[in-house]
Structure 1
């Protein structure tokens, strides 16, 4: 069985159908994919760099990382399309949900939904950002997220959307499982959370952002984030409303693009809110916790996502800080969630 978020905090168990997965990428196909950047080995202090971080970002602790290769930008729609064409892969959001599995997932005593509601709940789909036109409470995320049948990576804002002129945008509406499948085909893997933060810092020490400590609003736009009042008024000061084409902003010190904003990025690790407290000091290449733990939603194990997105703002979500941690269930697809890959040096 697998668990998918209809809305964050509302889970649904559905069958895990297999994918055809025909073969690994050929040499020519790999050459056409994302350029990789060599990240040198080193030691860094992982965790929040000031007092404004969330509880799960403390304590700061020393971590040693071996050298590795990392995609210079997020995997694009064009690159993901090449994977699907080569393998026939079917993403999580494209798989239908059976009535039996849907009903079995509901809490005991829940009456069966009427047929029209049931049909919508059984349809393949994913979560779509649907902003209101007025101010709303930040405590009710259903005000700007809607589970929309027909939403897939090819229709990221719902069935009426498409990828026309969006080949160079980061692929979204892909689950952790989908990202894993792509990475395996490409001869790569997802980064660990520690690798991701180390790379995002770009050789800077103790800084809030990939570019340093300078505020987002100072000087020229540095990342694709929310400008204005979230979630109803985006002034597009940075030039974009939704996802931006990769490499639209200056890279960090390691020549990596969009390590802050644009779309969240899947990491390999399970998410455990207490991992830093329990973790071993001076860890080398930590793989993350053995299991997931989210104190706000203890019934669902989640994977780490990093980097923030075009929906992050100072007034709501400061996920574009290099130490910021977030999470989602491995089967979830979102309008603002994608990934990039890494590879061991020996494999290059």
Structure 2
């Protein structure tokens, strides 16, 4: 874990880069206390250790299915599309052990982010690891890596120095992915360069769950600490909560939320092959 110093930070944006309903702005000042944050998202190997020690069964395993993007679904598994979104299928047997469906395995993917984890699953992991989920503000401050950038940890331009710095979609979405960044689906968690805080892939790869409800006003983060949000929102439910960072399925014409200031959300029992998480820990807890 990396230590992020407490203090006053600017969060949000005044740029018209995103969607009005996401409430990305206006930019405000917030005060945070010191916190630790995982340098990577939780990996398959780390999640497997948790499951081995606790016997935990994820929501996707209990339900018997999870959401998989159509590009990765075999023809025989395309039995039930997700309502109102033909790009997604409810695939029987898809879960964290089988990311694309029952025949997929974690072979050569132990260092990839665990996926198909609902927010409820992340709560169980955090309680086992003596950690918690970040607030959107803690996530955003960490993602900036000590800069004042609002789009990407490496600057304002996506292809800085004409190079890819994160894992998103390239090609003709949603039917062709050229893999110009080197990856089709998830990438190992330490792919690409870390930001100024030593944190890897806070942009792209997988969405990351946050502790607070979805699309709350940024000003609410001026009145509650991360620990207070965690104390209030540890219940297992299907309400909508914040997610951050974008994923390997983000593309300019489909999802402009692979930016530091971008906001999104999902319901607590939702899981998919592009959804993961990383944890934080308050400084008053021993490492």
| TM range, smaller chain | 0.7 to 0.9
The aligned counterpart of 1:169 is 112
Matched, 1:338 2:280: no
Shift of 1:217: 6.6
Instruction: Provide the TM-score with structure 2 as the length reference.
Output: 0.88
Structure 2 alignment gaps of length 5 or more: 74-82
Does the aligned pair in 2 maintain the 1:63–1:285 contact within 8 Å?
Answer: no
Does the aligned pair in 2 maintain the 1:194–1:285 contact within 8 Å?
Answer: no
Change (3 A) 1:202 1:232: same
Does the aligned pair in 2 maintain the 1:64–1:284 contact within 8 Å?
Answer: no
Does the aligned pair in 2 maintain the 1:128–1:146 contact within 8 Å?
Answer: yes
Matched, 1:84 2:84: no
Deviations 1:29-54 (CA, angstroms, capped at 9, x unpaired): xxxxxxx1111112222112522222
| Aligned mates of 1:329, 1:216 — CA distance in 2 | 32
| Aligned mates of 2:225, 2:280 — CA distance in 1 | 14
Shift of 1:216: 3.2
The aligned counterpart of 2:80 is none
| Aligned mates of 2:198, 2:101 — CA distance in 1 | 33
The 5 A counterparts of 1:311-322 are: 311-322=249-260
Structure 1 alignment gaps of length 5 or more: 1-35, 97-123, 134-139, 292-299
Shift of 1:203: 1.2
Change (3 A) 1:281 1:334: closer
Q: Secondary structure at the match of 1:234?
A: coil
1:259 counterpart (202, 206, 211): 202
Does the aligned pair in 1 maintain the 2:12–2:150 contact within 8 Å?
Answer: no
| Aligned mates of 2:217, 2:154 — CA distance in 1 | 27
Matched, 1:214 2:157: yes
Change (3 A) 1:331 1:252: same
The aligned counterpart of 1:231 is 174
CA RMSD, 1 decimal: 2.2
1:58 counterpart (18, 22, 25): 25
Does the aligned pair in 1 maintain the 2:68–2:273 contact within 8 Å?
Answer: yes
Matched, 1:74 2:41: yes
| Aligned mates of 1:217, 1:149 — CA distance in 2 | 40
Q: Secondary structure at the match of 1:167?
A: coil
Change (3 A) 1:248 1:64: same
| Aligned mates of 2:157, 2:42 — CA distance in 1 | 27
Change (3 A) 1:231 1:132: farther
Instruction: Provide the TM-score with structure 1 as the length reference.
Output: 0.73
Aligned length: 269
Shift of 1:282: 4.8
2:121 counterpart (153, 166, 178): 178
1:130 counterpart (52, 55, 70): 70
Does the aligned pair in 2 maintain the 1:49–1:206 contact within 8 Å?
Answer: no
The aligned counterpart of 1:11 is none
| Aligned mates of 2:161, 2:24 — CA distance in 1 | 25
Shift of 1:301: 2.7
